[in-house]
Amino acid sequence: MLQKERLDQILKIITTHKYVTVKFLMDELHYSTATINRDLNILAEQKLIKRHYGGAELASDHSVPLRFRHHKMRAAKSKLGRAAAELVSDGDTIFIDGTTTTQCMAQFLTEKKDITVISNNMALIAYLSEYGINSICLGGSVVEAPSMLFSIDTIETAAKFKADKHFFTSGGVSPDGRIWGGDIYAMLRKVMSENSALSYYLVDHAKYEEPHGKRTWCSLSEVSGVICDFDFPEETKSKFSKTEFIVV
């Protein structure tokens, strides 16, 4: 296959899946890691895609399937998950949203004692339950296969619980402190936050950008702490002086 044909094929695959890993492209096209990475770099230089550690997405599309989001920014998510888990004390009841970022907390929660975890992520709940952790699945319909649940029942069930801490992420955070995301999980985040004594927002550097028309969920003033892998400007931290900024 000529390089031009291969580039067209890669772009077609990324257009279909929105985000793919290098391994996925290798399995689909039967080329080496070096060849795939070289082709992805060319497409990135042409501003047709955005490169991420271990994968790539369309430059103009942020709707990435759940199975690929697990791989996107994986190293950063693991650091955020570890830092978030360190904030959980033995005996806590916590809300964890259904995202792949907060799901990275799971492996660091297994040694906690007498905690209760409430989430709309079936995979997270199943994993923690295997370690004897009291795990409550909020239920609802599968909206992002294979494990993300959401419906009006999800919100109503969440409203029945009180938690010590709430951990969530979103589509991104703007330089002026607006936390933004899609419409579908906005109400669930609100209910979880209102029913928790403390609320922590996990965000990696790739999500530090303007909302581009997305809905504003809340601002940094409405969370107890921000767990991030980059340092916010001093101006931002001064503006939100009551919010704790935890850099990993």
Question: Quick check: 214 pLDDT over 60?
Answer: yes
Alpha-carbon gap, residue 32 to 43, rounded angstroms: 17
Q: Does pLDDT of 34 surpass 90?
A: yes
- Strand-pairing partners, residue 57, are 19, 50
List helix spans (H) across 130-171.
Answer: 152-158
158 touches 118 (CB < 8 A):
yes
CATH class of 3-69: mainly alpha
Which pLDDT band, with edges at 50, 70 and 90, does 62 fall under?
very low
Q: What is the pTM of this model?
A: 0.73
CA atoms within 13 A on the CB side of 182: 6
pLDDT at 73: 61
> Among 158, 160, 161, 179, which residue's Cα sits nearest to residue 170?
179
Q: How far apart are CA 116 and CA 125, in angstroms?
A: 10
Can you tell me the distance from the alpha carbon of 143 to that of 66, in angstroms, rounded to the nearest whole number?
A: 10
Instruction: State residue 9's pLDDT score.
Output: 87
Model confidence pLDDT, tens digit, residues 72-120 = 667 889 999 999 999 999 999 999 998 989 999 999 999 999 999 999 9
Give the pLDDT band of residue 58 (cuts 50, 70, 90). confident
Given a cut of 90, whether residue 247 has pLDDT beyond it is yes
Tell me: pLDDT of 70 over 70. no
Please say if the pLDDT value at position 160 is more than 60.
Answer: yes
DSSP percent split of the chain into helix, strand, coil, nearest 5 = 40, 25, 35
- List every span in the chain annotated with CATH 1.10.10.10: 3-69
- pLDDT value of position 74: 73
Upper half-sphere CA count for residue 166 (Cβ side, 13 Å): 24
107 against 20, higher pLDDT? 107
CA distance 125 to 243: 29
For the cut 90, the answer to whether the pLDDT of residue 44 exceeds it is no
For the chain, the straight-line distance linking the first and the last C-alpha, in angstroms and rounded, comes to: 43
Give the C-alpha separation, 98 to 106, whole Å.
12
pLDDT band at 54 (very low <50, low <70, confident <90, very high): confident
Q: What strands lie across the sheet with 49-52, from one edge to the other?
A: 19-21, 55-58, 49-52
CATH 3.40.50.1360 placement within the chain: 75-247
The residue type found at 69 is R
Q: Are strands 196-203 and 163-168 parallel, antiparallel or unpaired?
A: parallel
Task: Give the pLDDT confidence score for residue 191 in this predicted structure.
Answer: 96
Mean pLDDT across the chain, nearest whole number?
89
d(Cα 155, Cα 135) in Å, to the nearest integer?
17
Written as six digits, the tokens of 209 are 């950008």
CATH code, residues 75-247: 3.40.50.1360
- Where would I find the beta strands (DSSP E) of the chain? 19-21, 49-52, 55-58, 93-96, 116-119, 134-137, 141-144, 148-150, 163-168, 172-173, 178-181, 196-203, 215-219, 225-228, 244-247
pLDDT of residue 63: 54
